[in-house]
């Protein structure tokens, strides 16, 4: 039940694809074009204008009614056939789309956009009323709704959106067996930390600590470090940030930073995660790489946010911020070099494509101050921009889920790409927390 999405359904929808445990066939870089295919593409001069093009199409595609605004999303029904429905979650649904629109509104406010955002929030709020059967996850459940409400609180302070986020935090179900960022304790904890950062209420920090304690209890020692299964009782161990040890380590590092001297146990847990990742890392043609999953996909390698070097690099940057130890930043830099050596990805999306890897380059730029990483972010975001298609006067992107659809969603569609364009418009300063799509 914990991987079910919060949905208003026309026909049944599947769980997340791309980086989900029940994904469509592997879409790793090996199956995509080589870097020379798009190397000559120049990024747009005005990234803000590029983000505006995304906003224009996403707003145009909203379906508005008395029940609020929603977006039609195409997904795999059974790994082959495509179905359509209305999701409220962050990964593919309205919450992620509204997160982008709220961030866009901060830069380009308008009454028309404000009205659309508020109508969309009405749809999401209605989907969160029954928590008895609702998943709690950051990308596929209630915590993702909460993250969206925090973005609306930033855009429209004093309108009660933070109260909505507080209500969700207070109602998050306890005891989920899922552990990961996408649908489990680590993702829930990241939302609680975000809420605590703006709210200051120690309840949310205590709730985050409770989830971290559950994670530490689930750690499995291997070598000198520790790894985590996808869920309690699962046989699968992912290294990456979406479903695996890097994502759990990322949350533990963030929590340790929030707790200061009280967070030493969580700092140790994050270091143990990094130690295991360092022990299983391999060099493939000189490039730092991690396999997709134990025990059955140790010969499959990916370089994206969800699986592989992209998301793992973000964890090592976060651990460097916490500890100040150069070795962690050096690992992140090596991972970034691997991404650039492999070049353009088959998908433009955030989860497992060029937009997400552009975000990794921005993280390295902010960590190092080295202009080369900003230039690399420009290059990868430029690949995402080059994948646009004009449809009926609007710019759209084929979704990063191989459905052939042009979804407006955040993690595998246009909204996330537009968010990266917003980040590119202010690469040194935008969104100190949460911008890495974790």
Parallel, antiparallel or unpaired: strands 297-301 and 287-289: unpaired
Question: Taking a C-beta distance cutoff of 8 angstroms, is the pair 409, 397 a contact?
Answer: no
- Residue 154 CB-density burial (10 A; 0-12 exposed, 13-18 middle, 19+ buried): middle
Give the start-end residues of each E strand in 54-170. 63-65, 68-70, 73-76, 82-87
pLDDT computed for residue 225 by the predictor: 98
3-state secondary structure of 316: helix
Question: Taking a C-beta distance cutoff of 8 angstroms, is the pair 373, 385 a contact?
Answer: no
Give the model's confidence band at 78: pLDDT under 50 very low, under 70 low, under 90 confident, else very high: low
Q: For 177-193, how does the pLDDT look when each residue is reduced to its tens digit (9 = 90+)?
A: 999 999 999 999 999 99
Residues 6+ apart with CB under 8 A from 233: 177
Asked if omega into 295 is within 30° of 0 (cis), the reply is yes
Task: Quickly count: other Cβ atoms within 10 Å of residue 393's Cβ.
Answer: 8
Cα angle 344, 345, 350; round to 5: 115
> 412: which 2 tokens?
């595998």
pLDDT computed for residue 430 by the predictor: 56
pLDDT > 50? residue 142: yes
pLDDT > 50? residue 1: no
pLDDT > 50? residue 433: no
Angle subtended by helix axes 245-259 and 202-218, to nearest 10: 140
DSSP run (H or E) holding 321: helix 309-323
Question: Taking a C-beta distance cutoff of 8 angstroms, is the pair 400, 33 a contact?
Answer: no
Q: For 258-268, how does the pLDDT look when each residue is reduced to its tens digit (9 = 90+)?
A: 999 999 999 99
Percent of the chain predicted with pLDDT > 70: 85
Residues 6+ apart with CB under 8 A from 316: 274, 328, 329, 331, 332, 335
Q: For 297-339, how does the pLDDT look when each residue is reduced to its tens digit (9 = 90+)?
A: 999 999 999 999 999 999 999 999 999 999 999 999 999 999 9
Nearest to 212, CA basis, from 178, 247, 250, 185: 185
Q: For 20-57, how does the pLDDT look when each residue is reduced to its tens digit (9 = 90+)?
A: 333 322 323 222 333 333 344 554 569 999 999 999 99
Cα angle 392, 398, 403; round to 5: 120
Nearest to 179, CA basis, from 189, 169, 171: 189
């Amino acid at each position: 039940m914990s991987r079910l999405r919060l949905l208003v359904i026309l026909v049944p929808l599947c769980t997340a694809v791309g980086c989900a445990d029940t994904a469509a066939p592997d879409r790793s870089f090996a199956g995509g074009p080589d870097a020379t295919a798009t190397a000559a593409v120049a990024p747009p001069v005005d990234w803000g204008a590029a983000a505006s093009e995304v906003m224009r199409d996403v707003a145009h595609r909203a379906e508005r009614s008395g029940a609020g605004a929603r977006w039609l999303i195409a997904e795999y029904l059974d790994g082959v056939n495509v179905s359509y429905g209305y999701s409220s979650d962050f990964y593919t649904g309205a919450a992620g789309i509204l997160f982008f629109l709220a961030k866009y509104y901060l830069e380009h406010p308008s009454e028309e956009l404000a009205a659309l955002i508020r109508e969309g929030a009405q749809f999401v709020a209605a989907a969160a009323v029954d928590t008895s059967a609702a998943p709690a996850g950051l990308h596929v459940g209630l915590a993702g709704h909460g993250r969206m409400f925090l973005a609306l609180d930033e855009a429209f302070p004093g309108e009660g959106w933070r109260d909505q986020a507080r209500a969700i935090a207070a109602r998050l179900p306890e005891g989920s067996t899922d552990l990961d960022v996408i649908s489990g304790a680590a993702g829930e904890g990241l939302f609680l930390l975000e809420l605590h950062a703006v709210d200051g209420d120690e309840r949310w920090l205590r709730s985050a600590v409770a989830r971290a304690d559950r994670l530490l209890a689930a750690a499995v020692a291997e070598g000198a470090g520790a790894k985590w299964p996808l869920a309690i009782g699962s046989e699968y161990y992912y290294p990456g940030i979406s479903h695996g040890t890097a994502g759990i380590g990322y949350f533990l590092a963030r929590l340790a930073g929030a707790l200061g001297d009280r967070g030493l146990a969580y700092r140790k847990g994050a270091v143990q995660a990094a130690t295991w990742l360092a022990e299983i890392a391999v060099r493939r043609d000189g490039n730092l790489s991690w396999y997709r999953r134990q025990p059955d996909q140790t010969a499959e390698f990916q370089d994206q946010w969800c699986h592989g070097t992209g998301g793992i690099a973000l964890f090592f940057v976060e651990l460097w911020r916490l500890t100040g130890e150069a070795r962690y930043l050096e690992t992140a830099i090596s991972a970034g070099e691997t991404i650039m050596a492999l070049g353009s990805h088959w998908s433009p999306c955030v989860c497992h494509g060029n937009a997400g890897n552009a975000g990794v380059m921005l993280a390295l730029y902010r960590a190092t101050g080295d202009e080369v990483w900003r230039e690399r972010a420009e290059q990868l975001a430029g690949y995402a921009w080059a994948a646009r298609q004009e449809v009926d006067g609007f710019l759209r992107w084929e979704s990063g889920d191989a459905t052939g659809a042009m979804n407006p969603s955040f993690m595998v569609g246009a909204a996330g790409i537009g968010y990266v364009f917003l980040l590119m418009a202010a690469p040194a300063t935008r969104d100190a927390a949460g911008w890495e799509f974790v």
